[in-house]
Structure 1
Amino acid sequence: MSIHGEGQGTDLPCFLNASGTWASICKSINMLHTEYSLDTTFLLLKIGNGTNAKFWYDPWINDSSLASCYPRLLALDTNNSSSVASRYNNNGWLFFWRRDPRYGIEVENLQALNHLFSSISITSESDYWTWEGGTFSVSKVRKLIDNHDLARFSIATKWCKQVPIKINIFVWRLKLSRLATKVNLSARGIVLEEAGCCLCDESFEDENHLFLHCATSQQIWSKISQWSNISLPSWSSLANLWAWIDGVPIPQNRRLITSIIIYATLWNIWRLRNSVIFDDKSFRKCHVIDSIVTTSFNWIFARVRKKNCNWNQWLQSPLLSL
């Protein structure tokens, strides 16, 4: 406290011109509190001698400051920047009124305040700040900020360590319907010449059609099922696909291989779609199949610790590779 300054309301204690790690933490959290209305009740001020606690602005009795609980009494006080220690002596608590509280609400607030004071003990120890739940950690701050600011989604985000980060992000966006399909772009107000599927031109291009119902995609899934010897059902929606991956009754190592092959298939369908739109290229489905087989093998070989598989084994029976 002597280095970084006294308490300043619900803000963490820190001089405005301070530098260093603690100062950065203080200023960041204080900004979230003042500019983004982030709740700061996770910061608790334990009162000791009251020297470093602001009487009106620090949360030294309850989770909230006296200023926020009793604004009428604050308006009557002539020394609202004083410390708790300066407001207490052996005879009790001191106030510095412009005039005595005289209206109903003012008198009621003063009575309630005196009732709170009856449970307070001033000691010789120093005041100190604590973190709710014990030890401070960066992860706790991150979770606090995420819970305050990030949107809530019903679909859990599951990262697969065996695929590249960009693939995890791609699948995450796909689960949230955030890919730049033609239907999504139109919903955002972007004017397109046409919104049909570029692979089959039989329906509007949304995620379910592009990855599951398009005739080209269905042929790709069929070829992948034949190669991998995985019985892939005809999913009605991507939500059914995610549920199938989580619930299919197979050993864990086979579930991992199946997930990686499905991720590679989704990724290559998306790449195929983009190459047709942006590169104006004709395509052959056999090239897409080859890319899926190669891509999934590279992911497995590069990221799985037990590398018992080789290329020939992967080509013949990928489920037996781990």
Structure 2
Amino acid sequence: MDHASCVLCGEEAETARHLFLHCNYAAGIWYAVCRWLGVFAVLPADVMMSYGLLVGCGRNKKIRKGFAIVWMAFIRVIWKVRNERVFNNATVEVTDAVDMVQRLSWQWYLNKMASSSCLLYEWIWNPCECMLR
């Protein structure tokens, strides 16, 4: 069976595991998001383990719910960047993708969870503090 190469790195077959975690591009986003959240997490073996690992790093229920939203934004951004590459031949830098994760997760968080407002700069500066409000 012939597998298409990953459009983000061109190094391996594009599987869900590779695209969302083990591609060098996705791994760069994963580690940057973990640093932003203040957690230390290695790349897990599969996509669902990444959810459990990230959410499990939350020290309480509010932060775990916030981390779940960030994880969903992480997945969504990688898929969006992949489709931009496939359909528009556009390239998005890792730093820009991380910015997209931060902004999207902030929007989703405000729509789903926030009982008080959290400005974007506050979210980017200290997301866990916003999650505790």
Matched, 1:211 2:10: no
Aligned mate of 1:264, from 62, 65, 73: 73
Q: Which residue type is aligned with residue 96 of structure 2?
A: H
Match of 1:275, SS state, is helix
For 1:154-169, list aligned pairs within 5 A: none
Match of 2:107 in 1: 298
Paired residues of 2:8 and 2:25 also in contact (CA < 8 A): yes
Q: Which runs of structure 1 show a deviation greater than 4 angstroms over 4 or more consecutive aligned residues? A: 245-249
Match of 1:302, SS state, is helix
User: Within 1, Cα distance between the matches of 2:91 and 2:8?
Assistant: 10
- Do the aligned partners of residues 239 and 300 (structure 1) sit closer, same or farther apart at CA in structure 2, a change above 3 Å counting? closer
- Do the aligned partners of residues 249 and 312 (structure 1) sit closer, same or farther apart at CA in structure 2, a change above 3 Å counting? closer
Identity %: 23
Match of 1:278 in 2: 87
User: Within 2, Cα distance between the matches of 1:288 and 1:229?
Assistant: 18
User: Within 1, Cα distance between the matches of 2:91 and 2:121?
Assistant: 30
> In the TM superposition, what is the alpha-carbon distance from 1:202 to its structure 2 partner?
0.9
User: Within 2, Cα distance between the matches of 1:292 and 1:314?
Assistant: 11
Match of 2:116, SS state, is coil
Match of 2:52 in 1: 243
Match of 1:199 in 2: 8
Matched, 1:225 2:44: no
Match of 1:321, SS state, is helix
More helix by share: 2
Match of 1:311 in 2: 120
In structure 1, stretches of 5+ residues that fail to align are 1-185, 187-191
User: Within 2, Cα distance between the matches of 1:277 and 1:285?
Assistant: 17
Give the structure-2-normalised TM-score.
Answer: 0.87
User: Within 2, Cα distance between the matches of 1:245 and 1:225?
Assistant: 8
For 1:1-322, list aligned pairs within 5 A: 195-245=4-54, 247-248=56-57, 250-322=59-131
Paired residues of 2:21 and 2:46 also in contact (CA < 8 A): yes
Note the aligned Cα RMSD (angstroms). 2.0
- Do the aligned partners of residues 249 and 266 (structure 1) sit closer, same or farther apart at CA in structure 2, a change above 3 Å counting? closer
Deviations, residues 292-314 of structure 1 (Å, cap 9, x unaligned): 11101111112224124222221
| Count of aligned positions | 131
> In the TM superposition, what is the alpha-carbon distance from 1:245 to its structure 2 partner?
5.0
> In the TM superposition, what is the alpha-carbon distance from 1:315 to its structure 2 partner?
1.3
- Do the aligned partners of residues 280 and 250 (structure 1) sit closer, same or farther apart at CA in structure 2, a change above 3 Å counting? same
Deviations, residues 202-248 of structure 1 (Å, cap 9, x unaligned): 11000000000000000111111222213233111123224335654
- Do the aligned partners of residues 227 and 281 (structure 1) sit closer, same or farther apart at CA in structure 2, a change above 3 Å counting? same
Paired residues of 2:8 and 2:23 also in contact (CA < 8 A): yes
Match of 1:33 in 2: none
Q: Which residue type is aligned with residue 28 of structure 2?
A: Q
User: Within 2, Cα distance between the matches of 1:249 and 1:319?
Assistant: 9
The structure whose RCO (Cα within 8 Å, separation 6+) is larger is 2
Match of 1:48 in 2: none
> In the TM superposition, what is the alpha-carbon distance from 1:282 to its structure 2 partner?
2.3
